[in-house]
Amino acid sequence: MPVIGKKIRIASAVIVLMSSGVPLWIASEALNPQIAQAYTARLDLSIDRFPEENYETLLTRAETAARAAAQRSFDQDILVTDVSIMVSVQNYGAIAPVLELKVSRPQWRTRPDPKRWATYFKTARSLLFFGGKFSTTQDANAESPNPPAPPPQNTEPKPSGENAVPPKK
């Protein structure tokens, strides 16, 4: 009989310990809740250049796309504290980043202007073939790399003496 009594005491002790652990866990969570995990939303956007679009218009479109993406990121997830958006442009097969928008939620709330928080990449203009003497097609008036050879000059003396050098005075 003493063996059964020991088993009953052990089982009742386990039940008491387990039942006291749940209220203890609830009390500890109530006094010290877990901290919400905030994070940075990172986005990569790519836009294509429209025909006949200049670089300034393209930058305006990139800023508009970055602004919409930042606002959407903050609106969709309340745990997002920062947004990092990279906007790249494709132009005739060349791809280059034109701007990066890095902003925190409080900064965006006070001033939701992408021009204020964006970093512009200066080399993007030349990497995308804007503003230089870049051409995607051969111009009709442009000189060819190999100009035509000049007509051969006649080296035979003319009978009337036209090739003679006049004397210096």
Instruction: Find the domain containing 80 and state its range.
Output: 40-128
Residue 167 lies inside a defined structural domain of this protein: no
Least-confidence region, from 9-13, 29-33, 63-67, 155-159: 155-159
For the cut 80, the answer to whether the pLDDT of residue 158 exceeds it is: no
Contacts of 141 (CB under 8 A, 6+ apart): none
Pairing of strands 94-104, 39-48: unpaired
Determine, yes or no, domain membership for 107. Answer: yes
Residue 156 forms part of a structural domain: no
Total domains in the fold of the chain: 1
The answer as to whether 135 is a domain residue is no
Per-residue pLDDT at 32: 75
Residue 101: inside a domain: yes
Mean pLDDT for all residues in the chain: 79
Residue 163 lies in a domain: no
Confirm whether 65 is domain-assigned. Answer: yes
* 81 lies in some domain: yes
pLDDT digits 0-9 by tens, 40-60: 999 999 999 999 999 999 999
Q: Of residues 92 and 136, which shows the higher confidence score?
A: 92
131 vs 56, more confident: 56
Measured CA to CA, the distance from residue 15 to residue 21 in angstroms comes to: 10
